[in-house]
């Protein structure tokens, strides 16, 4: 049975995905390869469709969070190199090898797991070494730990070490954050010195692509910027790729003293025209945005009133007399000269744009807009 909310949808513009990839490719040194991060279902945009679009637009590799995510892409026929960013685990290492995914190692034990999986399958387990330069999640932290992993890889005939990478924790912050990023970069270069020749070394995330293109090294990793939301102010032109809409289900007029929604947090000061909208926190619209957010109806802003309900919300359409049931409501995206971004929703909700994009619920229908017809590539 279809469990989609019948009047609530997000439209993903693949033309914008391709345009953003082209722009990121333009501002990245030509000597560096481009990895497109499509983890978490491509930040809610659709992993298969986005993967095909970026591979057609200059991406050399893909990155996912888990073996399961990579296996799903392989099941769609995508054959491009795919790096699993999370550390290899005993439970899925064999699947990672079988699907020819590049897995991440940072201990001798992890290399041993890859060697066993490779030997058992008769395949070579390709791996990248993760180096922890200050993020504090996973990775070797010094030369002793690095060398232990290297020695284990050297004596593992079914393991091929093809790259090394680190992740910047504060590259989107101000001067202090950039100073820390520079320290991380120096440590990464120090720990890359002495690695076997020919490895692909990469450290630049979206923020570093914009702020420090000189940190590109052999490859950069485009994440949130690919979806139109650079994490730092920048001059390049990127376009948001997701538009989220709902519908008006009911319009009424309330009089002075009437309350709207749970907790009676909003009380009419006079005659007010109220629209009920087919979206709530079960659809991924953050409850904490109630009383702060606005939506777009007929290209005009309508303040959201009171608390967001599970499946509905209310907005003031007194200044939009033409608003009527079945009208489109733009929750995120462009409507005429007005727009609401994931960053706007994040500010109203007390979070970040990443979480907003990922919060749009599974019952919200997802459609794709593609005017170039270049999705299908031999990936």
120-176, pLDDT tens digit by residue? Answer: 999 999 999 999 999 999 999 999 999 999 999 999 999 999 999 999 999 988 888
Which CATH number do you get for residue 31?
3.20.20.10
Final residue of a structural domain among 171, 198, 226? 226
Q: What is the C-alpha to C-alpha distance for residues 292 and 249, in angstroms, rounded to an integer?
A: 21
Identify whether the C-beta of residue 290 lies closer than 8 Å to the C-beta of residue 313: yes
Q: Are residues 206 and 249 in the same domain?
A: no
Identify whether the C-beta of residue 88 lies closer than 8 Å to the C-beta of residue 101: no
Q: Are residues 275 and 305 in the same domain?
A: yes
Q: Are residues 217 and 257 in the same domain?
A: no
Identify whether the C-beta of residue 366 lies closer than 8 Å to the C-beta of residue 49: no
User: Nearest Cα to 312, choosing from 358, 271, 261?
Assistant: 261
Q: Is residue 104 part of a domain?
A: yes
User: Nearest Cα to 149, choosing from 137, 131, 122, 167?
Assistant: 131
Which CATH number do you get for residue 334?
2.40.37.10
Q: Establish whether 354 is a catalytic residue.
A: no
Q: Are residues 115 and 261 in the same domain?
A: no
Find the angle CA(66)-CA(69)-CA(72) to the nearest 5 degrees. Answer: 150
Q: What is the C-alpha to C-alpha distance for residues 241 and 226, in angstroms, rounded to an integer?
A: 9
The pLDDT assigned to 237 comes to: 86
User: Over 70: is that where the pLDDT of 235 sits?
Assistant: no
The pLDDT assigned to 3 comes to: 63
The pLDDT assigned to 2 comes to: 58
Q: What is the C-alpha to C-alpha distance for residues 119 and 113, in angstroms, rounded to an integer?
A: 10
Q: What is the C-alpha to C-alpha distance for residues 118 and 99, in angstroms, rounded to an integer?
A: 11
Segment 225-236 mean pLDDT: 83
Structural domains in the chain (count): 2
Q: Is residue 7 part of a domain?
A: no
Query: Which one is catalytic: 39, 116, 130, 247?
Result: 39
Q: Are residues 90 and 212 in the same domain?
A: yes
Q: Is residue 187 part of a domain?
A: yes
Query: Which one is catalytic: 190, 252, 262, 271?
Result: 262
Q: Are residues 345 and 264 in the same domain?
A: yes
Q: Are residues 35 and 90 in the same domain?
A: yes
Q: Is residue 351 part of a domain?
A: yes
Q: Are residues 302 and 185 in the same domain?
A: no
Q: Is residue 376 part of a domain?
A: no
pLDDT in tens, 83-125: 999 999 999 999 999 999 999 999 999 999 999 999 999 999 9
Confidence class of residue 378 from pLDDT cuts 50, 70 and 90? very low
Q: Are residues 164 and 203 in the same domain?
A: yes
The residue count of the chain comes to 379
Q: Are residues 221 and 249 in the same domain?
A: no
Task: Kindly report the number of other CB atoms within 10 A of residue 255's CB atom.
Answer: 9
User: Nearest Cα to 221, choosing from 207, 238, 232?
Assistant: 207
User: Nearest Cα to 63, choosing from 93, 97, 29, 102?
Assistant: 102
Final residue of a structural domain among 171, 197, 226? 226
Q: Residue 79 is encoded by which pair of tokens? A: 């054959």
- Of the chain, the percentage scoring pLDDT greater than 90 comes to 91
Which domain does 138 fall in, by range? 14-226
Q: Is residue 2 part of a domain?
A: no
Give Cα separations from 21 to 12, 35, 40, 241, 325 (angstroms).
Answer: 15, 10, 18, 12, 39
Q: What is the C-alpha to C-alpha distance for residues 172 and 232, in angstroms, rounded to an integer?
A: 5
Q: Is residue 232 part of a domain?
A: no
pLDDT in tens, 32-85: 999 999 999 999 999 999 999 999 999 999 999 999 999 999 999 999 999 999
Q: Establish whether 262 is a catalytic residue.
A: yes
Q: Are residues 184 and 281 in the same domain?
A: no
Q: Is residue 126 part of a domain?
A: yes
pLDDT in tens, 293-352: 999 999 999 999 999 999 999 999 999 999 999 999 999 999 999 999 999 999 999 999
186 burial via Cβ count (<10 Å: 0-12, 13-18, 19+)? exposed
The pLDDT assigned to 234 comes to: 66
The pLDDT assigned to 14 comes to: 97
Q: What is the pTM of this model?
A: 0.93
Q: Are residues 172 and 93 in the same domain?
A: yes
């Amino acid at each position: 049975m279809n469990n989609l909310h019948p009047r609530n949808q997000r439209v993903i513009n693949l033309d914008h995905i391709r345009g953003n990839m082209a722009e990121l490719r333009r501002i990245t040194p030509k000597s560096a390869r481009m990895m497109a991060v499509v983890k978490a279902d491509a930040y809610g945009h659709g992993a298969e469709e986005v993967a095909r679009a970026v591979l057609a637009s200059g991406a050399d590799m893909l990155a996912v969070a888990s073996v399961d995510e990579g296996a799903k892409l392989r099941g769609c026929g995508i054959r491009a190199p795919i790096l699993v960013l999370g550390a290899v685990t005993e439970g899925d290492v064999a699947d990672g090898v079988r699907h020819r995914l590049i897995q991440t190692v940072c201990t001798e034990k992890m290399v041993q797991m890859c060697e066993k999986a490779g030997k058992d399958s008769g395949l070579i387990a390709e791996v990248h070494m993760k180096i922890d330069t200050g993020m504090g999640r996973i990775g070797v932290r010094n030369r002793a730990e690095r060398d232990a992993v290297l020695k284990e890889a050297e004596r593992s005939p079914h393991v091929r070490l093809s790259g090394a990478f680190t992740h910047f924790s504060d590259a989107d912050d101000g001067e202090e954050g950039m100073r820390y990023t520079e320290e991380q970069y120096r440590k990464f270069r120090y720990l890359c010195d002495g690695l076997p020749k020919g490895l692909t070394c990469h450290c630049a995330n979206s923020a570093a692509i914009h702020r420090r293109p000189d940190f590109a090294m052999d490859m950069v990793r485009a994440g949130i910027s690919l979806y139109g939301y650079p994490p730092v102010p920048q001059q390049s032109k990127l376009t948001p790729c997701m538009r989220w809409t709902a519908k008006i289900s009911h319009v009424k007029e309330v009089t002075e003293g009437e309350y709207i929604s749970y907790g009676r947090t909003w009380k009419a000061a006079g005659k007010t025209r109220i629209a009920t909208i087919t979206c709530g926190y079960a659809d991924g619209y953050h409850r904490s945005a109630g009383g702060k957010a606005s939506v777009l109806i007929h290209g005009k802003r309508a303040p959201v009133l009171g608390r967001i309900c599970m499946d509905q919300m209310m907005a003031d359409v007194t200044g939009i007399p033409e608003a009527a049931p079945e009208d489109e409501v733009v929750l995120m995206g462009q409507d005429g000269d007005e727009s609401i971004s994931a960053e706007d929703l994040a500010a109203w909700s007390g979070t970040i744009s990443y979480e907003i994009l990922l919060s749009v619920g599974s019952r919200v229908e997802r459609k794709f807009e593609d005017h170039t017809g270049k999705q299908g590539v031999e990936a």
